[in-house]
Structure 1
């Protein structure tokens, strides 16, 4: 990355608290230290599993953003720093087809010096999956499809809500032992296998976290034209793109809103497309 980008950053030499116990400091520091010339400081004096786990034994309180904010604030307090960063992931069906598994990674950057909060996201496909199996052959097929052993696995007896489980499984002998244990512990001789979605255990997720870091860097390198604060970036859209046939407003996006997180100055940036397809018009295509 050109040095000029880092020199233009408000964060040259600034220390930034990052609370994580799942290895996120590697991709986040790689990207942000380079792009912003800041110093990401890994904070690990708090068990982040207390805020929620992917194994569902501790439910996440609040939204994805609220969980990330909590992590950032705890990290800032522990490190005694005024700038904090946190990451939170979410998984489910993709929002378009509802068929493929989808990963949304969210980063929040809190700067109490300037009184700003900047959020960036990245999303993409993931190996998020689970299956109930009755024998080793089924377990092996699932593991191969999930990208094991590079992607770790979790095994439970019987069903997804069983309170006992083995996680962090990263070798074939470990998996075989866990499956034997789960089958023997289940009255129906079944094992529930799922992907381990903790960041260090999932290279595909790590790629999305890195992409979110790139998006965050771009936002923090964009200054407000009024108060010069970092983080002047897209924050919403304006709908109402006119129909190509009748000219009436549709629900299609016609402009993007860019807003400053500090002074709230905002501008509307028109998109290149000037008309919406008649197929998206409630009048032409009711």
Structure 2
């Protein structure tokens, strides 16, 4: 059986965190007291070079690859065998496809044990944009976006204009940037958007904290055979019976937990749900 417990592997250890956007403020308070480690902020590399939410520098590769690269750079700069890094992504929500959504990934790398453990959180995002031709329209968008708590980005013309000002965090600064952009715009419109960087976006910073908690749970879940951290779900098995006809559905019936090092596996039935809603049964609701 998977066991969540205090682990001593990382007590007194330093863990590199490469960030220039203040992510240590939410990652350290989660990991440090629980693991007895010290998440150490690493500087000396511009993480915006790996991609920006303002699209002036596109992210190369997948989200997990960018997180892994950040962790590795932090470990190389610090000379530490342990590293943690986060990478976020914004897109439409998976339910209606109409609301902004945030997926945060955290990766923890342990070179002493050759381990990579992932934490994740997804939820609603503060990631909006609007066109404005009048200052009053810009004011309305700013207030609805949680400004100045959430910083803003401004461009002339549209979302792909390379001319931009970001990190806008005060009303005088916003007004100056708006009229600068308006003066540069041939169409007479200005493109405004919320700043997606962690230090500029409180809702995203909270998502990183929650992803840190998910990572912590996985680190503290150890293999009952070889005592390796990260003993977690590797497969979900469908087949939950329909409440109406009893037939198999695609509802998840059990989860397989697996070790990152040895071949040990444990299959656990999901607690709580014994039957699937007939609405999700191919026989009752073809």
Q: TM-score, normalised by structure 2?
A: 0.95
CA contact (8 A) 2:6 2:220 kept: no
Q: Which has the higher contact order (CA 8 A, sep 6+)?
A: 2
Per-residue deviation at 1:6?
8.8
Distance in 2, matches of 1:282 and 1:7, equals 44
Partner SS for 1:244: coil
Residues 188-207 of structure 1 aligned to structure 2 (within 5 Å) = 188-207=187-206
Residues 109-258 of structure 1 aligned to structure 2 (within 5 Å) = 109-258=108-257
CA contact (8 A) 1:53 1:60 kept: yes
Deviation track 1:35-80 (CA, whole Å, cap 9, x = no partner) reads 1111111111111111101110111111111110111111111111
Q: Which moved more, 1:84-93 or 1:251-260?
A: 251-260
Matched, 1:283 2:283: yes
Gaps of 5+ in 1: none
Per-residue deviation at 1:100?
2.0
Residues paired across the two proteins, number: 282
CA contact (8 A) 1:122 1:211 kept: yes
Per-residue deviation at 1:7?
5.5
Per-residue deviation at 1:246?
3.0
The answer for the alignment partner of 2:48 in structure 1 is: 49
CA contact (8 A) 1:107 1:216 kept: yes
Gaps of 5+ in 2: none
Distance in 1, matches of 2:244 and 2:195, equals 50
Per-residue deviation at 1:234?
2.4
Matched, 1:97 2:96: yes
Distance in 2, matches of 1:193 and 1:72, equals 32
Matched, 1:17 2:12: no
Distance in 1, matches of 2:255 and 2:281, equals 20
CA contact (8 A) 2:6 2:34 kept: no
